[in-house]
Structure 1
Amino acid sequence: MTTQTLSLEDRIAARPGDFRVLTGDRPTGPLHLGHYFGTLRNRARLQHSGVDLVVVVADYQVLTDRDVAERLVPTVEGLILDYLAAGLDPDRATIFTHSAVPALNQLVLPFLSLVSVPELQRNPTVKDEIAHSRQSSVSGLMFTYPVHQAADILFCKGNLVPVGQDQLPHVEVTRTVARRFNERYGPVFPVPEALLGAAPLLLGTDGTKMSKSRGNAIALSATADETARLIRGARTDADRHITFDPQTRPEVSGLVQLAALCLDEDPHQVAATIGAAGAAALKRTVTEAVNEFLAPMRARRAAYAQEPGLVRDVQRAGNARANAVADQTLLEVREAMGTRY
């Protein structure tokens, strides 16, 4: 970790009540191991340490790279089950749905006036999302996605955002929006800080970034057999001797890293243990490590899924809390802007 991150961790440990985390996901499919090691684990850790945790299910933002949001209700419910299985406690965290909080979305309009078109065009995360978009042209929602995320973070005055490496540019846009609003209208918003997870970028079974849209992800809700099948089909290379070298051997190293994270071991040691046994042994090691790691999470998820009305109760309570916070923030924004009539 960097000195800045260590300093931030020290401050969180000393005064967790000073921090409010805003984080969340688009309900485009089940959460996967990249989500868990990139941010979910951090969310649960921060919540248990006493940090105020706010989690958005960003259903509106599904439309950034899709013409329509298909099967949204079961996907949202599955996402919330993934949260609960990963250790988020709805009694201590606010879990809410984007479309259910109109005051949050109203903040997007003034925020858009604070960011230029060239700044949005230069955002590397937007560029990457556009490159992997299924659409023939880019929608305005896709283009302004970082500003929508700024509204998500700032509506509750979030000052800490646990993210993966690829999401850092979005946090920087939020910091820019907060600073410019405060300079133009007066101090309303904190300038949030990013907190990187232990594995900022986890590779998928094809050696590229693990992503739902690329079909290379191991879902937290996958069965043991499904997980084994995915790992058997993972790409490796022609060198039989297993080493951990992310620069020259991304496919093999991605699998080694995945096993190391699940085993809580150093990836170089995992690679050395497998050594000349080859890709088949590597895949067996990864499969066993992942399935053992996910077994408790799968059991919790199955138990929660059997509780009638649990997910809807979590949504209702979280939406009510988020609306109260958003209404108050919007009132402060209108006061600052002189638009409270």
Structure 2
Amino acid sequence: MRFLVKRLLLFAAALVGVSVLVFAALRILPGDVAVVMAGTNASASRVAELRAEFGLDRPYIVQYLDWAGGLLHGDLGMSALTGRSVAAQVGRRAAITFPLIVMSLVVALAVGLPLGCAASIARSPRLRGFLHVLAIAGGAVPALWSGLLLLLLFGRGVGLIGLFPSQGFPAEGWSGDPVRAFASLILPALATGFVAAAGIMRYTRSALDDIASDGGPVDMAMACGMTRTQAMLQVGLRLATPQLVSVVGLTFASMITGVMVIENLFALPGLGALLVGDVGNRDLVAVESELFLLAAFFLILGLIVDLTHRALDPRLAAGEEE
């Protein structure tokens, strides 16, 4: 409980720090937010109107407390461009982005874990060398390039084998046509997942090789009658799980930036397109809340990985007690 309380307090402090940084980036740094939102050719009266409308004429501390209080109550503010709630816009776009990230992670695990295990278990130097080169080459391929390649191969209407939708997302969303909505995310998920799989493959192979080089657990399992493959998969992989959980968590977080690029390529109206559009349209009030939500997501993911890692590896708790 002491560890949990400590981590939660650090998480709360990090959230406050992130909110201050995001607020300062759009308020304290050189430049007037109202002038940026209004445009360079706007009149002074229009700028003053925007400053009064969004409370930019008040002291900074009052603006921050008002914004932070709204965040605590789930109020992300109103978009200056559309006049709609930022929370509603983010919720609608997140219904596309987060399923895409989850699908990409499933692809990365389904490809990276087996290949990483095979790279560690394989006895043939040629096979190990091939898998090693495959992992390096896969990690060097940009998600944008892999997405273009998948479009040319499997995109409906533009590819050699038109199996999946090449662009767009159903206007009615998941509730209207879930099959079509799922199909529209397959190619983007493959493009992001294949690149992330290379990293998981390298980390899996490295973790298993380290455990095998120690000799103790794997050799003991083999002495009990297991084959080397059985010992590596049943004992070595279980011992490597805490480390792999951290890697998967970091991979999941890094997929957010990769997904933003893929969303633009496949014309998906997700969070990436929303953030890019709001920045381009100078809707900085919405950008402020959207950046905070992204940062909060990273912090939440880090907290979950930290707690999971400790739960899976009792040695961490034993080390602190000593």
TM range (shorter): under 0.3
**TM-score, length-scaled by structure 2:** 0.22
More helix by share: 2
Structure showing greater radius of gyration is 2
**TM-score, length-scaled by structure 1:** 0.21
